[in-house]
Amino acid sequence: MVNEHGGNIYGKDIRLDFSANLNPLGMPASVKNAAASAVCGCDRYPDPFCRKLTEKLSAHENIPAGNIVCGNGADDLIYRIVHAVRPESAVIGKPTFSEYEKALREAGCAVSEYAPGDISALLADSTDMVILCNPNNPTGTLTGSGKLKEICEKSLEKNIIFLCDECFIDLCKDAEKNSAKQFMNKNVIVLKAFTKTYAMPGLRLGYALFGDTGLAAKVRGTGQFWSVSAVAQAAGEAALDERKYVAGAVELIAEERRYLSEMLKSCGFTVCPSDANFILFRCDIPLDGMLLNEGILIRNCSNFRGLGEGYFRIAVRTHEENKMLAETMKKVMKWQEK
């Protein structure tokens, strides 16, 4: 039952996927149209430097184009950044996204883990690199601006590379106030992706913002030459115009997250407070298997370090979908009681 990541609907009869944490509004029509139109140009190689997309990202993020690197999803950039930096030791959270550790270990890096909120462990003198997921996956908790400021300042003081993964932050309220981007220095990298914000995981498009132009150039020179397809680049350009769509999703997620949290509590489950578009909770029954029999996929989180059996994660979807999940969950709970 346990998959390495969410969204693995293949080979299963799935009618509702709550395992993948995407914008519940779905991919915008403008993005779909841009992607479809770009197919006509696929008889030519894509721009290896994503020039048009990078210029648009520069205006969107208020960061110089030379400090932005696009990649084949955020995962691609995690591996490329680690490959470019080549840290001998690194610190990551527990629990957190598994690809950080995988990338670091593949590069021969010694990996240490820290408990949430333990900044002293984050910035140990022996550390070359710190990776923080903000908001964290799978817990959904945001690291506040005060802690982010301290981490950014200490990373510069101790010459530690600080990679802050903010792939979910644009779907949170007060995203700008809780972003490491506001404390940028030459040792800070902010990782972002179109995947979650614009519900386009199949197109694979991410980008990283660098405080240091030289490090950005170094990462840009890693990996495959044509890392981002022409279709993904066109879709990304269109997505950046969808500001009202993102704002609407943020409001919807905040409202529906409350609805789902209350529903989970009413079932007797332990619910972790979340700022993100997903919720981590704990229960003592094999809920993932029970829901899968009803065509609903949720994320079994037992393979996250620091969690274990009984932890599950659900995405925040539309109210109609969330209501269907609630009704199905109550139905399987009644079966369990029998």
Question: Please, what are the averages of pLDDT over each run of 10 residues along the chain (338 residues)?
Answer: 61 88 98 97 96 98 98 97 97 93 97 77 82 96 93 94 97 94 98 97 97 98 95 98 98 98 95 97 94 95 92 98 95 70
pTM here? Answer: 0.94
Place of tokens 């890096």: 109
CA dihedral for 292, 298, 299, 301, sign (positive or negative) = negative
Residue 5 falls inside a structural domain: no
Q: How far is CA 198 from CA 50, 135, 168, 321, in A?
A: 19, 17, 11, 18
> Which domain-ending residue is among 208, 239, 270?
239
Q: Are residues 173 and 86 in the same domain?
A: yes
> Which domain-ending residue is among 204, 239, 274?
239
pLDDT digits (tens, 9 = 90+) for 104-146: 999 999 999 987 667 666 777 789 999 999 999 999 999 999 9
CB within 8 A of 271, min separation 6: which ones? 261, 264, 265, 279, 280, 281
Could you give the count of Cα atoms lying within 13 Å of 102 in the half-sphere of its Cβ? 10
Q: Give the count of domains, the chain.
A: 2
Residue 11 falls inside a structural domain: no
Q: Which long-range contacts (CB under 8 A, 24 or more apart) does 286-292 make?
A: 286/1, 287/312, 287/329, 287/332, 288/1, 288/312, 289/1, 290/332, 290/335, 290/336, 291/325, 291/328, 291/329, 291/332, 292/1, 292/12
Q: Give backbone dihedrals phi and psi of 45, rounded to 5 degrees, phi first.
A: -65, 145
- Residue 124 lies in domain: 29-239
Q: Give backbone dihedrals phi and psi of 83, rounded to 5 degrees, phi first.
A: -65, -40
**Residue 148 in contact with residue 134, Cβ under 8 Å?**
yes
Q: Are residues 22 and 38 in the same domain?
A: no
CB within 8 A of 147, min separation 6: which ones? 117, 119
Q: Are residues 195 and 312 in the same domain?
A: no
Q: Are residues 306 and 323 in the same domain?
A: yes
Give percent above pLDDT 90 in the chain: 87
Q: Are residues 253 and 233 in the same domain?
A: no
Q: What tokens appear for 317 in the block?
A: 């979807």
